Amino acid sequence: MTSISYILSKVIWFPFRPGTLALILACIGLAALWRGRRWGRWPVLAGLGFFVMVLATPVSQWMLIPLEERFSRPATPPAEVAGIIVLGGAVDQNLTEARGIPALNGAAERMTEGVILARRYPNAKIVFTGGQGSLVHGGLTEASVAEELWSAMGLENSRVIYENEARNTHDNAVMSFALAQPKPGETWLLVTSASHMPRSVGVFRAAGWPVVPWPVNYRTGRNLASLYDAPFPERIGQFETGLREWVGLVAYWLMGRTETVFPGP
């Protein structure tokens, strides 16, 4: 069941991600109009309408703001921390394999914050969890890239547990729990992107791991510049990220991986 849901999530998302779907609709409509089919104007309007909506309104920010503001860091950081969990998702595996050096994507703050926290809490265990996140990939896992990067940044391997089998957030929680074996009452920080935090916290809670959220990689703000200043391609990416998280929240709840649709503090 896990393999089927994983494969379906990748296969279905590729043609139905909003930017791709809008382009497909516009092309279908143009082809129909070229052949004299008047109904073609509707898919053209739908496809172009999506791009105009993203360009003219802050809808991409509206998709992310409720997700990013659901959890915040503790007002007073914990004095003692037993461990720190860093979720994968920041490594560009294809570029890393192609160029031979660690390459990070827009979620790079997950990796840098992990090192910062490791130095702030020198006695804490560190767990990095991330295997292969795509159907088409080479031989590298996110964990192997993280180990190379963090070792070069001076983080001792003896402090870190590298989990290299997880393919999604559910795997992150279950497999990390089995490796780290946290004890009741321990404080564990969870580091991931702010928009991904609600689903992550819900999954870790369902796995029996009451983590303390430590969000990074914010992509929204409240002022005018943050609402409109992002380049058009970035806005499309923000919209798709937000939509995918909302769909993921519902899907995980339906599959019993989280206890509520929208986990909260």
Give the SS3 label for residue 201.
helix
CB atoms closer than 10 angstroms to residue 50: 20
Number of H helices, E strands in the chain: 11, 5
83-216 maps to which CATH number?
3.40.50.620
- Residues 6 or more apart in contact with residue 2 via CB below 8 angstroms: 170, 171
Distance CA 88, CA 24 (A): 31
Q: What distance in Å separates the CA atoms of residue 249 and residue 136, rounded to the nearest whole number? A: 25
Per-residue pLDDT tens digits for 120-177: 999 999 999 998 766 566 678 899 999 999 999 999 989 999 999 998 999 999 999 9
Q: At what angle do helices 59-68 and 197-206 cross, to 10 degrees?
A: 30
Query: What residue ranges do the domains of the chain occupy?
Result: 2-68+221-254, 83-216
**What is the DSSP secondary structure assignment for residue 195, as one 8-state letter?**
G
183 with 240: CB under 8 angstroms? no
pLDDT value of residue 1:
44
- How is residue 170 written in tokens? 């559910």
- Asked if residue 9 has pLDDT above 80, the reply is no
Give the pLDDT confidence of 15-37 residue by residue, as tens digits. Answer: 778 889 999 999 999 999 999 99
Q: Measured between alpha carbons, how far is 170 from 203 in angstroms, rounded to an integer?
A: 6
For the entire predicted model, the pTM comes to 0.89
pLDDT (tens digit, 9 = 90+) per residue, 110-133? 999 999 999 999 999 999 999 876
Q: In this predicted model, what pLDDT tens digit does every residue of 41-99 receive, in sequence order?
A: 999 999 999 999 999 999 999 999 999 999 999 999 999 999 999 999 999 888 888 89
